[in-house]
Amino acid sequence: MHPAGPAAAVIAQLWWVLLAGATAIFLFVAALIALAWRRPPGETQERRFVVWLGLVFPMTVLAALLAYGLVVGERLLPRATPDLVRVAAEARQWDWRFGYEDAPGRETENVLHIPAGRPVDVAITSVDVVHGFWVPRLAGKLDAMPGHVNVLRLEADAPGRYEGLGSEFNGAGYRDHRFTVIAHDEAGWQSFLQGETP
């Protein structure tokens, strides 16, 4: 994971926290099991295992984790900001078409242009089957459902080209159902909106 935007970055950080916690819990459980062979038989308290380890321990961990996840989730929500850019993504077998609120009538195929450093809302839909919209380095994924419009917030920190993928199996052309996201600097974005192809 090489995050290149704020959304992907918090998710990457979340992953490292999850991995550390999971490893610790796994080692703890493994040690408990190994100890069963190492200790002399004797009284074992049911309450200690069932209530403390079985109920209290996971509930504490999970409550903390859930709170963390919800806070991260809030940060990823498409909220209103003044410099927001709106684009539309329309999926079909096996193509992507993109439209731009700031340049009505402009449509690009398999290439999505966005400005770098500004939040972008992608309104995602499909004209045939269910597809998934995913730019791994910029944000999580969201499905393209026929008849529905789902909005995904993404943002690229720096100008550049980012790979995008269809992420919901959609038949024979699934492997190559890709697109490219081009994040422009401010000048490049303006010239794109003016209709020049960079």
Partner 1 sequence: MNALRRHRALSRIWASEPGLKGWFTTVNHTDLGRMFLFVATVFFVIGGILAMLIRAQLASPRSAFLGPDHYNQIFTMHGTIMMFLFAIPFFEGLAVYLLPKMLGTRDLAFPRLTAYGFWCYVFGGAMMIFALLAGIAPDSGWFMYPPLSSTIGAPGINSDFWLIGITFVEISAISAAVEITVTVLRYRAPGMKLSQMPIFAWYALVTAVMILTGFPPLILGSILLELERAFGLPFFQVAQGGDALLWQHLFWLFGHPEVYIIFLPAAGAISTILPVMARTTLMGYGWIVASAVSLGVLSFGLWVHHMFTTGIPHMGLAFFSAASTLVAVPTAVQIFAWIGTLWKGRPVMHLPMLWLLAFFATFVIGGLTGVMVAIVPFDWQAHDTYFIVAHLHYVLIGGFVFPMIAALYYWMPHFTGRRTYFKLGHAAFWLVVPGFHGTFLALHWAGLLGMRRRIDSFAPGQGWEAINIIASISSFVMAIGFALVLIDVVVNAVVAVRGSRDPWGAGTLDWAMPTPAAPYNFASLAHVTSRDPLHEDPDLPVRLARGEGYLGDPTRGRRETLSLDIASGTPRYMVVFPGNSALPMLMSAVTGLFFLGMLIKAYWLVPISAIGVIACALVWVWGLGRSTTEGALPVGRGLSLVPATEVPDPPGWWGSVFLLLANGTFFGSLLFGYAFLFTIAPNWPPPSYLEPGALPLILVLMGAGLVFFGSRLGALMGAGAALAGLVLIAGTSLPVLSQSPDPTRHAYDATVWVFVGYGLLHCLVSLLMWSVVAARRLSGHSAQTTLGAMRVARLWSDYTLLVALLSAAAIGLPGVLT
CB of 188 to partner 1, least distance (A): 26
Round to whole Å and give the CA distance between 167 and 182: 19
Interface size with partner 1, residues (CB under 8 A) = 67
C-alpha angle 31-68-114 in degrees, rounded to nearest 5: 125
Cα-Cα-Cα-Cα dihedral sign, residues 75, 79, 83, 85? positive
Q: Extract the tokens encoding 121.
A: 């809302």
Helices (H), the chain: 6-38, 46-47, 57-76, 186-193
Identify which of residues 11 and 112 has a Cβ nearer to partner 1 in the complex. Answer: 11
Q: What are phi and psi of 99, to 5 degrees?
A: -120, 165
The footprint of partner 1 on residues 17-76 (CB under 8 A) is 18, 22, 25-26, 29-30, 32-33, 35-37, 39, 41, 44, 46, 48-50, 53-55, 57-59, 62, 65-66, 68-70, 72-73, 76
140 in contact with partner 1 (CB under 8 A): yes
Q: Extract the tokens encoding 124.
A: 């995602």
Identify which of residues 15 and 198 has a Cβ nearer to partner 1 in the complex. Answer: 15
CB of 17 to partner 1, least distance (A): 10
Q: Are 170 and 177 in contact (CB under 8 A)?
A: yes
The footprint of partner 1 on residues 110-129 (CB under 8 A) is 128-129
Cα–Cα distance list, 49 to 52, 57, 62, 103 (Å): 6, 10, 18, 63
Round to whole Å and give the CA distance between 152 and 164: 14
Residue span binding partner 1 (CB under 8 A) among the ranges 82-90, 104-112, 114-122, 136-144: 136-144
Contact pick of 87, 112, 142, 182 for partner 1 (by CB under 8 A): 142
CB of 136 to partner 1, least distance (A): 5
Please give the single-letter amino acid code of residue 16. W
Residues within the interface to partner 1 (CB under 8 A):
1, 8, 10-11, 14-15, 18, 22, 25-26, 29-30, 32-33, 35-37, 39, 41, 44, 46, 48-50, 53-55, 57-59, 62, 65-66, 68-70, 72-73, 76-77, 93, 128-130, 132, 136, 139-143, 145-148, 150-151, 165, 167-175
